[in-house]
Amino acid sequence: MRSSVAELRELKAEAERGPSPEATRRQHAKGKLTVRERLELLFDPGTFQEVEQLRRHRASGFGLEDRRPATDGVVTGWGRVDGRTVFAYAHDFRVFGGSLGEAHAAKIHKLMDLAEAAGAPLVGLNDGAGARIQEGVTALAGYGGIFRRSVRASGVIPQISVVLGPCAGGATYSPALTDFVFMVRGTAQMYITGPDVVGAVTGESVTHEELGGAEMHGAVSGVAAIVCDDEAECLAEVRYLLSMLPSNNRELAPVAFTADPADRSCDALLDLVPPNPRQSYDVRDVIREIVDDGEVFEVHARWATNLVCALTRLDGHVVGVVANQPSVSAGVLDIPASEKGARFVQFCDAFSIPLVTLVDVPGFLPGKDQEYGGIIRHGAKLLYAYCNATVPRVQVILRKAYGGAYIVMDSRSIGCDLSFAWPTNEIAVMGAEGAANVVFRREIAAAPDPDEARAQRIKEYRQELMHSYYAAERGLVDDVIDPADTRRVLVRSLAMLRAKDAPLPSRKHGNLPL
């Protein structure tokens, strides 16, 4: 028995060391950690339990029969993050370039099934060269099994992808199907076809970074929700995100202790937001002033920046915040912002995270490019997500709220539970200037002094239909509140709504807009 145990220990030690010291040096030379160094950063010390460490592929041909390393290029298992169970698989680029073969895929399939059965989050650490070409179609079938399981687990357990190296071809759809994608600058790339193929087919000359780097996906495509400078920061951010998520859709997110008083007065808000709707400000300052200890986890911070989506806490309870950003394009809604907001609202609703919507929106962005790009159907995605959400929903109108964008930003008419407004609110079909030009067009044109007539009609329209209490008088706003009371009002409202029950009609599923 002792000799057998000694042999076992040597086999496990060999699997943990990886193929060779030289392979490890090459990994480090690229600025990347090894697979086990990454897992040590992700999990609480000493809690990772590996499964199928000794698994090897059974393929032959092209020299594979002579190369059968343990793990087959992926480490799978579970451990604890802040004391809570989390499952993870991590590609080992030192073994077959982290490429996916039949055995490799089977390990991931098993882990995904375990995570769903146990009701615990799943984290994928991606650093692989895609399908293992030497294994042919069996490798492609392996990806199909991953995609199917990811879709089945969507909205059941949180799924997080961390891209730490190459991720190309069909492999990119694995992260794309998950809830959040993290990428590291300088080392992570994602693309369907690489620069060489792009150059051969289209004649375009493009680098790996330009085509699929973290900066591009964080700011242009919106594929990456979080972009980090290095792997240590990235995995720390993953741990922080996990601390704000429930383990599954049958549980609530963890409640954290806070010394920040629930009834704290937010006096700084009186100066943060200018009363003039034409003046800009950073809505993130408003969010930080309202929430616990000013701590905010913003997602897609560099994409569709005219809308802010963030996870944070109020009185220790996790909430999702959606807010127009007046410092970027006046906070207007456009195609990327609509997609960003819809995705975030759907995630929060799937995992019972209440929604707070801060509104300061002049409307949808007009123009040929937006119409040709499908602003109607993309805007409908955000509308659909809000209308379909059954979690507690509270709206706060900070300043302007015009037209269809006011409706879409979780107005009372589409089902928010409570709507509050600051005394600076202006809720209308459009701004007073535009409305006067439409309603009184002929009268203004016929006036001896059109400019004076226009100014008078704008003043009258604002006084009659856009004063701060117009919506409240008609029951479209529940209360007009002192901005300093915003935190207190939100905490009390969400506490009252915590047991909200709003079942949807029996159906297989809805038909989301394209």
Phi-psi region of 422 (alpha: psi -120 to 50; beta: other; left: phi over 0): beta
Q: Report residue 209 as tokens.
A: 């970074």
Catalytic position from the list 139, 168, 224, 405: 405
First to last CA, the chain: 62
Catalytic position from the list 186, 194, 373, 404: 404
Question: What is d(CA 245, CA 311) in angstroms, rounded to the nearest whole number?
Answer: 9
Question: What is d(CA 462, CA 71) in angstroms, rounded to the nearest whole number?
Answer: 69
Does 404 qualify as catalytic in the annotation?
Answer: yes
Question: What is d(CA 412, CA 409) in angstroms, rounded to the nearest whole number?
Answer: 10
Pairing of strands 189-191, 166-168: parallel
CA atoms within 13 A on the CB side of 320: 26
What are phi and psi for residue 191, nearest 5 degrees? -160, 155
Catalytic position from the list 170, 194, 373, 434: 170
Decide if 311 contacts 320 (C-beta within 8 A): yes
Q: Report residue 155 as tokens.
A: 């909205």
Task: Find tokens 């409305």 and name the residue.
Answer: 435
Q: For the chain, give the longest Cα–Cα distance.
A: 107
| Amino acid in the structure at residue 64 | L
Q: What letters, b where the CB count within 10 A reaches 16 and e where it falls short, cover 219-228? A: beebbbbbbb
Q: What letters, b where the CB count within 10 A reaches 16 and e where it falls short, cover 419-452? A: bbbbebbbbbebbbebbbeeebeeebeeeeeeee
Beta bridge partners of residue 86, listed in sequence order = 79
Does 170 qualify as catalytic in the annotation?
Answer: yes
What are phi and psi for residue 393, nearest 5 degrees? -135, 120
Residue 257 buriedness (CB in 10 A; 0-12 / 13-18 / 19+): exposed
Helix (H) or strand (E) holding 488: helix 486-497
Decide if 451 contacts 392 (C-beta within 8 A): no
- Radius of gyration for the alpha carbons in the chain, expressed in angstroms and rounded: 26
Catalytic position from the list 98, 124, 169, 431: 169
**CA–CA distance from 228 to each of 56, 141, 300, 323, 369 (Å)?**
34, 32, 12, 23, 32
* Catalytic residue numbers, as ranges: 169-170, 404-405
